[in-house]
């Protein structure tokens, strides 16, 4: 029987929710309590987020409009309506970005001796230095392209820096062209450091675009440059692979990567001083309209400013460095197998080190008794120590199986390269299941051990909410579980068997696996809380994730709220559920935490009549995660570790006032007022886990567990 759909007014729009999330990130750049260079970094993060937003989300809307698709989403808006709303909101967000840069951050940086010298303020010495730099570093690699019948408009790479040049006069061949394009090679830095003695400040910078504007006439000898305007085009970057026709997924993805740089244009960023004629000309060349045009008061790619904080040695203007902690059990005993036989180990990144995960695999390679290593790879980085360790394992003759997700967006090329290297040394490389991204994060080690009954195989597993990426493990919050639990390890082995072989899905004892059981199990857990509430018992759900969009589950949460279940949702990014609506979602509260670290943990807590069920997961509550991906949710069975997760991963966030944004029913957010003397939740966890012992943290967790109910 088909359930009655909720009215569209009960759902918020995904694209607008993503822009709302970026407003919260941008607020970090405006926050005087955040170290100054970190504020600049947050500004660049918004630019990076918006790039992907246009490359994927806006590109998808434009594709639907082009093909005449008018079907609305759960919120009731058609693609054309969403695009119009997005364009208006994105324009406001970009305008605020540049206002913050020009009116707040650049003046504040200048007061700290970090200056960006503009052309109109250059001294004679600075002008001479810029000229010398242009002739030494830029001129030899620049290729001006005059536009005439023999030189059509060039192919412009996605997100590359370019200059539209307006000209007068004739060149050496007597050609009279009024326009040219100069493309800035990607190898050139967009922000160039000046010597302190030239800059007149301890840290002086000049934009590549400023140098180009000052000396672009050197590229067009004998002609008059009437205008020089920087621009950048964003293109559709979603890869299309016909999964029904392909015979080799790796070759198909490699072929598609070449097209990503030249997909259909979706956005044109242009200097705000560009002439109307050049503006109209560029829009025509890219097949765009005024709605797709973003005029900006500064560099067209603010993301390139991310290089500045790393070049400025001012510890007082950055977040304080920290040393991730180690669980006491691993600090006392280097034999990881002995530790895991005694108890599971929980790691809370980045507050606790990612090194035990690396050592888990490294130890397996060096141990002659280990005969097999299996691991999934979604994102791991270009210089991954873990991947090098797996390559060494295969060289040493270990049975190494790696499930590599080739369709991990924007990491496809990196993953293809790792897959090729692993195959070269004899590892079994599997590309997951066509049509379902492998997003689960798991590793399995099989070891031959002595038992009273004789030699036997023993399995050890690592399961996580985040990727096997040591760099992001210092930037993202995630949980990882190391375990020797026989049932859990058997489940992990079964999932690997399903990924690498053929056959029907088997019943798992502990793990919830999408696309088979994860959605059904989560819905069932919600139903259980509803039943408990109807029986007059305390009923409670706390869930932390990156996004909440799946309509059926939202409907179930509304029903649970109406039954009296108390629900707290900690959703970092986009949430389509409307909280706090009388008669619909009175008992649902939604908050978002934005801070130094990217909140990435997925934790699901169900009170379950005092059983306090806690699941960690790789999946957000989105349709793609439930139905089109291989995802895992795994229970934490150890009572002390379960209590830690509730305290560190849930209750601490519900208690926070310094980094919290509360969502209202119309999709807007209001920041909570920080209580005097109350540390932000991320800083507090750093204090507990990076400097205090795990024993103390676990003790506190056990004490606070009842408060979650």
Catalytic residue set? 439
Please check whether residue 305 is in contact with residue 105, taking contact to mean a CB–CB distance below 8 angstroms: no
Distance of CA 518 to the CA centre of its chain: 23
| Phi and psi based region of residue 694 (left: phi greater than 0; alpha: psi -120 to 50; beta: remaining) | alpha
Query: Bridge partners of 267?
Result: 234
CA distance readout (Å), 257 to 379, 407, 631: 17, 11, 25
Q: Give the whole-angstrom CA distance, residue 226 versus residue 463.
A: 61
Q: Give the whole-angstrom CA distance, residue 54 versus residue 96.
A: 18
Please check whether residue 427 is in contact with residue 390, taking contact to mean a CB–CB distance below 8 angstroms: yes
Please check whether residue 479 is in contact with residue 356, taking contact to mean a CB–CB distance below 8 angstroms: no
DSSP SS3 for 5: coil
Q: Give the whole-angstrom CA distance, residue 548 versus residue 554.
A: 8
DSSP secondary-structure letter at 376?
E
Q: Give the whole-angstrom CA distance, residue 237 versus residue 583.
A: 42
Length of the chain: 709
Backbone angles phi, psi at 501, to 5 degrees: -115, -155
The pair of structure tokens assigned to 263 is 């997909």
DSSP state letters, 227-287: EEEEEEEEE-------TTT-S-HHHHHHHHHHHHTTS-EEEEEEETT--HHHHHHHHHHHT
Task: Report the b/e string of 687-707 with b at 16+ CB within 10 A.
Answer: ebbbeeebeebbebbeebbee
DSSP secondary-structure letter at 300?
S
Query: Bridge partners of 616?
Result: 603, 634
Beta-carbon contacts of residue 699 (< 8 Å; ≥ 6 apart)? none
Q: Give the whole-angstrom CA distance, residue 217 versus residue 142.
A: 12
CA distance readout (Å), 520 to 509, 527, 541, 576, 621: 15, 10, 16, 20, 12
CA distance readout (Å), 131 to 185, 213, 222, 392, 502: 19, 11, 19, 50, 65
């Amino acid at each position: 029987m088909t359930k009655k759909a909720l009215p569209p007014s009960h759902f918020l729009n995904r694209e607008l929710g993503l822009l709302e999330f970026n407003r919260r990130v941008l607020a970090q750049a405006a926050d005087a309590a955040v170290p100054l260079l970190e504020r600049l970094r947050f500004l660049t993060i918004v630019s990076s987020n918006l790039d992907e937003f246009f490359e994927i989300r806006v590109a998808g809307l434009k594709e639907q409009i082009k093909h005449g698709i008018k079907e609305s989403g759960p919120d009731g808006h058609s693609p054309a309506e969403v695009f119009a709303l997005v364009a208006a909101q994105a324009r406001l967000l970009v305008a605020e970005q540049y206002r913050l840069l020009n009116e707040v951050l650049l003046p504040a940086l200048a007061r700290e001796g970090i200056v960006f010298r503009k052309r109109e303020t250059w001294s004679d010495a600075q002008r001479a230095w810029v000229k010398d730099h242009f002739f030494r570093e830029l001129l030899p690699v620049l290729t001006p392209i005059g536009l005439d019948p023999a030189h059509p408009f060039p192919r412009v790479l996605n997100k590359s820096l370019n200059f539209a040049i307006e000209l007068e006069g004739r060149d050496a061949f007597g050609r009279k062209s009024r326009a040219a394009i100069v493309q800035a090679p990607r190898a050139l830095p967009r922000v160039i450091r000046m010597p302190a003695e030239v800059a007149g400040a301890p840290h002086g910078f000049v934009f590549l675009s400023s140098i180009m504007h000052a000396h672009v006439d050197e590229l067009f000898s004998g002609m008059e440059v009437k205008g020089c305007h920087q621009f950048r085009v964003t293109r559709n970057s979603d890869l299309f692979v016909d999964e029904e026709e392909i015979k080799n997924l790796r070759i198909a993805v490699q072929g598609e990567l070449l097209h990503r740089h030249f997909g259909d244009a979706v956005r044109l960023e242009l200097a705000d001083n560009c002439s109307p004629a050049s503006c109209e000309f560029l829009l025509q060349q890219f097949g765009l309209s005024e709605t797709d045009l973003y005029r900006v008061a500064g560099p067209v790619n603010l993301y390139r400013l991310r290089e500045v904080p790393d070049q400025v040695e001012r510890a007082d203007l950055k977040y304080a460095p920290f040393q991730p902690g180690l669980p006491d059990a691993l600090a006392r005993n280097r034999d990881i197998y002995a530790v895991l036989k005694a108890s599971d180990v929980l790691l809370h990144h980045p507050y606790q080190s990612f090194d035990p995960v690396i050592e888990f695999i490294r130890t397996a390679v060096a141990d002659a008794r280990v005969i097999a290593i299996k691991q999934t790879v979604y994102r791991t980085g270009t210089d991954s120590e873990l991947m090098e360790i797996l390559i060494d394992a295969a060289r040493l003759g270990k049975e190494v199986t790696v499930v590599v997700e080739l369709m991990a967006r924007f990491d496809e090329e990196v993953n293809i390269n790792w897959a090729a290297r692993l195959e070269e040394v004899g590892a079994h490389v599997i590309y997951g299941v066509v049509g379902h991204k492998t997003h689960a994060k798991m590793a399995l080690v099989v070891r031959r051990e002595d038992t009273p009954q004789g030699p036997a195989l023993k399995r050890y597993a690592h399961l996580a909410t985040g990727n096997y990426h040591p760099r992001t493990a210092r930037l993202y919050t995630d949980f990882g579980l190391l375990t020797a639990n026989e049932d859990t390890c058997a489940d992990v082995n079964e999932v690997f068997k399903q990924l690498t072989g053929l056959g029907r899905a088997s019943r798992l004892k502990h793990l919830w696996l999408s696309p088979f059981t994860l959605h059904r199990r989560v819905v069932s857990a919600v139903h259980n809380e509803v039943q408990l509430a109807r029986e007059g018992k305390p009923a409670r759900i706390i869930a932390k994730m990156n996004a909440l969009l799946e309509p059926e589950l939202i409907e179930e949460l509304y029903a649970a709220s109406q039954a009296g279940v108390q629900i707290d949702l900690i959703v970092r990014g986009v949430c389509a559920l409307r909280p706090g609506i009388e008669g619909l979602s009175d008992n649902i509260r939604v908050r978002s935490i934005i801070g130094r670290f990217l909140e990435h943990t997925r934790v699901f807590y169900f009170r379950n009549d005092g059983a306090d069920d806690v699941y960690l997961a790789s999946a957000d509550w989105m349709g793609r995660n439930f139905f089109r991906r291989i995802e895992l949710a795994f229970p934490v069975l150890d009572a002390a570790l379960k209590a830690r997760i509730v305290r560190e991963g849930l209750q601490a966030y519900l208690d926070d006032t310094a980094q919290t944004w509360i969502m209202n029913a119309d999709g807007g957010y209001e920041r909570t007022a920080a209580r005097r003397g109350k540390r932000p939740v991320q800083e507090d966890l750093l204090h507990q886990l990076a400097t205090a012992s795990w024993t103390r943290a676990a003790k506190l967790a056990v004490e606070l567990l009842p408060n979650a109910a």
